[in-house]
């Protein structure tokens, strides 16, 4: 079960190498033995995944802090 779809807050993004629009694909985010299953914009051809700023500095940052806490 996906724990959310996280597209960038703005912009119409495409892959620089493959020139194709991005699609919603399942991705795994793992850290210190915990994993999260999410949906992220991905290039359907080369599989490159886009991690947006709000996710990185938001949920991911909060979870990193919690998991690193001794």
Partner 1 sequence: MITPCPLPSLYAHEGVQVETGPTIRPGGFVLTDRALDLCRFAPKSLILDVGCGHGATVHRLHSHWNLTGMGMDPSPGMLTHGKGLPLIQGTGEVLPVADARLDGILCECVLGATPDTTRILKECFRILKPGGRMIVTDIYARNPLQNGQTPLPMTCCFNGARALADHVRTIGQQGFTPLHVEDHSRLLRDLAAHIVWNHGSLAGFWAAMFPALDTTCILSSIAAIKPGLFLCVARKEFP
Partner 2 sequence: MRSLLTRIGCTIEELELSGSLAECCGFGGLQSTANPELSDDIVAKRQSRLNLPAVAYCAMCRDRLGNETTHVTHLLDFFLPLNTPDNLYRGTGPNLSERRENRARLKKELEEEIWHTAPAPGEPYESIHLVMDEEVRSLLEQRRILDIDLQRVIYHAETYKRAFINQDNGHILAGLRPVRVTYWVEYSKENDGFRVHSAYTHRMLVTGTDSLGDPA
> Which residues of the shown chain bind partner 1 in the complex (CB under 8 A)?
3, 33-34, 36, 58-59, 62-63, 66-67
Site map (CB under 8 A) of partner 2, residues 9-38, x = contact = -xxxxxxxx----x--x-xxxxx-------
What is the per-residue burial (b if ≥16 Cβ within 10 Å, else e) of 3-14? eeebbbeeeeee
Distance CA 2, CA 26 (A): 7
**53 binds, options partner 1, partner 2, none, Cβ within 5 to 8 A by partner type:** partner 2
Site size toward partner 2 (CB under 8 A) is 32
According to DSSP, the residues that pair with 39 across neighbouring strands are 5, 26
């Amino acid at each position: 079960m996906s724990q959310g779809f996280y597209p960038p807050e703005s912009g119409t993004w495409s892959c620089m190498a493959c020139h194709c629009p991005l699609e919603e694909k399942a991705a795994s985010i793992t850290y210190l033995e915990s994993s999260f299953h999410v949906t992220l914009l991905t290039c359907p051809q080369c599989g490159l995944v886009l991690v947006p700023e709000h996710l990185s500095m938001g949920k991911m940052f909060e979870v990193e802090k919690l998991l690193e806490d001794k």
